[in-house]
């Protein structure tokens, strides 16, 4: 999640976490959460967004531009991190830590 949120800050995009879990499950997760998490969490109990974007595993990252075009799609989180063309988290972290 830190890398996704760093991408959000450096590229002026909005990250939205989407879950199919119910509020009863989410309450303790957020109550006990110590790490940073996206400001917007949407619930999709019928999994409509999951189906629309072909989500078959978690985590899945879908980067959608302002025109609704998918610019990046990635299921899972490999050791190399997000595989978005032109994005290098380690370099971005240096930039963020210097500010």
Task: Name residue, tokens 């999994």.
Answer: 47
Phi, psi (degrees; rounded to nearest 5) at 72: -155, 145
Is it the case that residue 24 has pLDDT exceeding 90? yes
pLDDT of 90: 72
Q: What is the pTM of this model?
A: 0.76
**Structural domain that includes position 83:** 2-98
Instruction: Please give the tally of structural domains in the chain.
Output: 1
Nearest to 94 by CA among 24, 10, 33: 10
CATH assignment at residue 23: 3.40.30.10
Where does residue 16 rank: exposed (0-12), middle (13-18), buried (19+ CB within 10 A)?
Answer: middle
Q: Provide the pLDDT confidence category of residue 34 given band limits of 50, 70 and 90.
A: confident
- pLDDT band for 86, please (50, 70, 90 cuts): confident
């Amino acid at each position: 999640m830190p890398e996704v949120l760093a991408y959000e800050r450096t590229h002026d995009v909005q990250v939205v976490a989407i879950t199919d879990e119910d509020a009863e499950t989410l309450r303790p997760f957020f109550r006990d959460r110590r790490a940073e998490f996206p400001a917007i969490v949407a619930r999709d109990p019928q999994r409509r967004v999951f189906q629309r974007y072909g989500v078959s595993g978690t985590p899945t990252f879908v980067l959608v531009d302002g025109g609704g075009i998918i610019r990046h799609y990635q299921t899972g989180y490999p050791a190399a991190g997000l595989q978005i063309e032109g994005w290098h988290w380690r370099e971005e972290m240096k930039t963020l830590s210097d500010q």
